[in-house]
Amino acid sequence: MRPQSYYRDDSYDDDDDDRDKYQRADEPDRYLADDYDNRKKTTKKTFPDCLFGSSKAVKPFNMQNMFETEIRRLSKTINTENSDDEINDATRQSIIAKAAVHVSSSLLSSLFCDLNGTDTENLDEFLRQFQVPEKFCSLHSKIDCDAYKDRRHISGICNNLKNPHYGSAGTPFTRIKKAVYDDGLGKRRSKSVTGRPLPSARDCSLRLFQNKQQFSRSYTNYFVIFGQFIGHDMSLAAPAKDGSGKPIACGCNRNDDMCSNVKIPPNDPWMSDQKCMAIPATAEAFPDQICSLGIREQKNDNTHFIDLSVVYGSSQETIDNFREHTDGLLIVTDVTPYKDYLPQQQSGQSCVDADDRVKCDGRVMENLVLTGIVTQWWRFHNMLARKLKELHSDWSDDELFEGAKKINVGYFQKVVFDEYLPMLLGQELTDQFFPDGPTKYDPEKIPGVWTEFSTAAFRCHSLVREWYSRATPYHKLIDQKLLWDISLRAAPAWDFNFGGLDAYLRGSVNDFGYAWDWNFADQIRHHLFETNDKKAETKRYDLPAMNINRCRAHGISSYNVYREWCGYKRAKKFSDFSDTINTEGIQNLREVYDDPDDVDLFAGLNMEDSVPGGLIGKTSACIVARQFALIQVSDRFYYEHEGVFTPAQLQALKDFTHRSFMCDTVETYSMQTDPYKPRTPEGNEQIPCTENYATLNMEPWR
């Protein structure tokens, strides 16, 4: 039995004409960006009367003035709040981004007189006509890319020589479809197309999702967490910061656009002891990569490229802290006789289980398998730097560092594009989106990570399992831990009696992942980051609910819109979903949502059947395939694009097998040929690392 509604007791049987009952015939369909695009072509821009000639209208309009006044106002508030703190660059940036949003709103209120009731669909178009003055937006600044002609900049700038900022860290997520917000500007989508409130994201999660612990026999947990690692390379939604640059502390009573809290419905069987999940909003950003005004967008703190941001960071400051500054090496923690660990962070938050000396990177230590994967690429960097040093004893620290980084990123891209993606998408979609291997670099393409990709399509959270095995170097099972035991916790990594950190990596190539469906592990749906602290307002989180909530906060259109973008018909009634969702899934959706156009993207995607031959839902696969194709063609340094590697170097990267990489970077006696796939007695058996092993052939780099 699926749980009943915990939130809305007025849930009613859907009959497929509900939409018409609640929506006036002449009412614009606010949620359909495609319709918007079509209308735009045919209708002329019309603004309310009061735009011109009204006493309220600002005319002539001086953007620079409005900006300066707004920034002065905001800085003043900050100065009085934090008289001791220096205003640093990040703070200035955040003031300016805020000012942009404020100026947008005040400009709009004066031009449109009254935002309520205006045709909000035109706002974005209108605002985009104005550029933020140059001195307020660093993206205008001229950059000398000469030094980066043949190596990547740490922040991703100069990857595109024509538009140096494209794809760099701190630029906004781009979008497939125009944002839909309640007020047209940035307020989280909260209403059904019928006008009634949408159910709370937690309510959706409770009623839509289950936990049947369905395993997939086709991939390992290592494959699953590798996906998390890739996602974290491309995307880091910047958390909103307060005036002094500190992360926002959200409480359940706070109800402004800095927090995206999720309400807990009454009678929630798991969370009745908390009122909400308090969640900081994503920091706002200029709407495009050229500083126009416009409606709210979200900031990506990582480079959008696939360039191992999780390993090297996205800023000079970060990487400088982690470099040894001799021989191109990264700092490590020596745990002889085992392979090196990541360096100990000097500052930041403590891990949950540790005293104040052990700092925890919330992202790297999200789970210890992920920590292990980051460690593997860290170790590999140092292996490469040492090998390059053997070949080029005269190279400087910088040359060795950049050389090793380039090979590391190149090999990572090989694994992502040649191994991970074909398996995730299936051969059919891979052939469709990557027909002749990599396409030529195209500087006109904006290498943007789409908010729909990072907030929904690539949040493969239904694959996340409950229990995590530890295994010996001979792959004998030691024991299993709940996600909770290895999430933001350092101690198990130091537990060398049970194999230390690498025990989890070894376990992950033996464990299956969960299947793509609407089953989510209780560990992430009811117990994520659970704390025993009685005083904590948020005692635990629900990850699928957070995903749904994030979709709404990021102004993401409904699932229906993306179905259509992927070539399926836009559903007018729930049963029209039947080409992507089975009967039971459709029934689930019908019980929760008023209208097919209400279905949140994340929810819709996780009700879907998998793409034939692939491992994730049909629409997700379509979005993911297109996203990776876009990132590939807009990445000047993509490993097969001209000039990055010589043909012999490329061949060496291709010949270096994933299994040998595992043998090089994991403390293990043996490994299966394809670590993404479960070991089988024949075809994918685990064989000793001493057999059929060949490390990366460095001759072409001599």
Binding residues for heme b: 461
- Burial (Cβ within 10 Å: 0-12, 13-18, ≥19) of residue 617: buried
Q: Does 284 bind Ca ion (CB under 5 A)?
A: no
Applying CB under 6 A, the span of 71-79, 234-242, 531-539, 648-656 interacting with ligand HEM comes to 234-242
Q: Does 454 bind Ca ion (CB under 5 A)?
A: no
Please identify, using beta-carbon distances, which residue of 278 and 666 lies nearer to ligand HEM: 278
CB count, 10 Å around CB of 295? 24
CA distance 633 to 625: 13
634 dihedral zone (left: phi>0; alpha: psi -120 to 50; beta): alpha
Q: Does 665 bind Ca ion (CB under 5 A)?
A: no
DSSP code of 497?
G
* Sites for Ca ion among residues 214-253 (CB under 5 A): 233
Please identify, using beta-carbon distances, which residue of 220 and 235 lies nearer to ligand HEM: 235
Shortest approach of Ca ion to residue 370 CB, angstroms? 16
Please identify, using beta-carbon distances, which residue of 163 and 451 lies nearer to ligand HEM: 451
Shortest approach of ligand HEM to residue 309 CB, angstroms? 11
Q: Does 237 bind ligand HEM (CB under 6 A)?
A: yes
CB count, 10 Å around CB of 150? 11
Residue 695 dihedral angles phi and psi, to the nearest 5°: -70, 170
List % helix, strand, coil for the chain (3-state, nearest 5).
Answer: 40, 10, 50
The answer to whether the beta carbons of residues 335 and 321 sit under 8 Å apart is no
CA distance 471 to 220: 14
Decide which of Ca ion, ligand HEM, none touches 231; Cβ closer than 5 to 8 Å per partner kind. Answer: ligand HEM
Applying CB under 6 A, the span of 136-144, 175-183, 224-232, 413-421 interacting with ligand HEM comes to 224-232
H helix or E strand, kind and range, residue 686: strand 686-688
Q: Which string of x and - marks every residue 308-327 that binds Ca ion (by CB under 5 A)?
A: -x------------------
Applying CB under 6 A, the span of 73-81, 222-230, 308-316, 436-444 interacting with ligand HEM comes to 222-230
Please identify, using beta-carbon distances, which residue of 300 and 560 lies nearer to Ca ion: 300
The answer to whether the beta carbons of residues 701 and 668 sit under 8 Å apart is no
Which residue in 139, 179, 185, 236 binds ligand HEM (CB under 6 A)?
236
Helix 201-208 with 543-553: angle, nearest 10 deg: 130
Query: Tokens 């059919």 belong to which residue?
Result: 428
Q: Does 248 bind ligand HEM (CB under 6 A)?
A: no
Q: Does 307 bind Ca ion (CB under 5 A)?
A: yes
Which residue in 70, 366, 402, 418 binds ligand HEM (CB under 6 A)?
366
Which residue in 160, 171, 282, 303 binds Ca ion (CB under 5 A)?
303
Buried b (16+ CB within 10 A) or exposed e, 334-366: eeeeebbbbeebeeeeebbeeeeebbbbeebbb
* Sites for ligand HEM among residues 546-605 (CB under 6 A): 546, 550
DSSP code of 538?
-
Shortest approach of ligand HEM to residue 372 CB, angstroms? 12
Please identify, using beta-carbon distances, which residue of 550 and 626 lies nearer to ligand HEM: 550
The answer to whether the beta carbons of residues 598 and 654 sit under 8 Å apart is no
* Sites for ligand HEM among residues 264-293 (CB under 6 A): 279
Please identify, using beta-carbon distances, which residue of 233 and 667 lies nearer to Ca ion: 233
What is the CB-side half-sphere exposure of residue 207 using CA atoms within 13 A?
25
Applying CB under 6 A, the span of 15-23, 68-76, 106-114, 458-466 interacting with ligand HEM comes to 458-466
Binding residues vs ligand HEM (CB under 6 A): 224, 227-228, 231, 235-237, 279, 366-367, 454, 458-461, 463-464, 483, 524, 543, 546, 550
Binding footprint of Ca ion on the chain (CB under 5 A): 233, 302-303, 305, 307, 309
